[in-house]
């Protein structure tokens, strides 16, 4: 998980200082790609915190699949003259919030279990 956080931090620093501008025509595509990547990263963090089986292959294929589907929906919307990228944005945002909620719950459950064990050990020593 440390490598993920370092990668995100490195990407943010590169993006902040790189003189790169994205044409307006591609902002929809950029938005859904960023949300897809963020969804995959938050899902990986959730998997790690809930003691699910985290697998790098599943993470990578899920990331690529999410990006491809989101880009495909956005492209289809552009071809049809519809704003279908909004559907991908809503779904990805919902998944991000859901995964953050599950991760938060797992993290607090883990923390409170440690506090209960610490309290029990303190009371048993007296």
Residue 63's domain spans which residues?
Answer: 26-125
Number of folded domains in the chain? 1
**Assessment of whether the complete model's pTM goes beyond 0.75:** no
C-alpha pair distances (Å), 62 with each of 58, 66, 86, 95, 100:
6, 6, 20, 13, 17
- Taking only the tens place, the pLDDT of each residue in 72-121 is 999 999 999 998 999 999 999 999 999 999 988 888 887 887 666 544 54
DSSP 8-class letter at 51: T
- Structural contact between residues 74 and 85, judged by C-beta atoms closer than 8 angstroms: yes
Confidence of residue 122 (pLDDT cuts 50, 70, 90): very low
Q: What is the pLDDT of residue 25?
A: 87
Is residue 99 in a domain? yes
Is residue 112 in a domain? yes
Neighbours of 34 (CB within 10 A): 13
Question: Between these two residues, 27 and 2, which has the higher pLDDT value?
Answer: 27
Is residue 18 in a domain? no
Is residue 1 in a domain? no
Q: What is the pLDDT of residue 123?
A: 46
- Taking only the tens place, the pLDDT of each residue in 56-68 is 888 889 899 999 9
């Amino acid at each position: 998980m440390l490598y993920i956080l370092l990668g995100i931090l490195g990407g943010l620093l590169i993006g902040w200082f790189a003189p790169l501008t994205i044409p307006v025509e591609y902002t929809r595509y950029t938005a859904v790609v960023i949300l897809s990547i963020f969804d995959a990263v938050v899902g990986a963090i959730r998997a790690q915190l809930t003691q699910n089986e985290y697998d790098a292959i599943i993470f990578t294929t899920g990331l690529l699949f999410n990006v491809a589907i989101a880009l495909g929906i956005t492209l289809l919307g552009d071809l049809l003259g519809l704003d279908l990228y909004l559907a991908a944005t809503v779904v990805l945002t919902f998944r991000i919030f859901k995964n953050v909620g599950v991760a938060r719950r797992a993290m607090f459950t883990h923390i409170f279990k440690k506090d209960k064990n610490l309290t029990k050990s303190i009371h048993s020593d007296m």
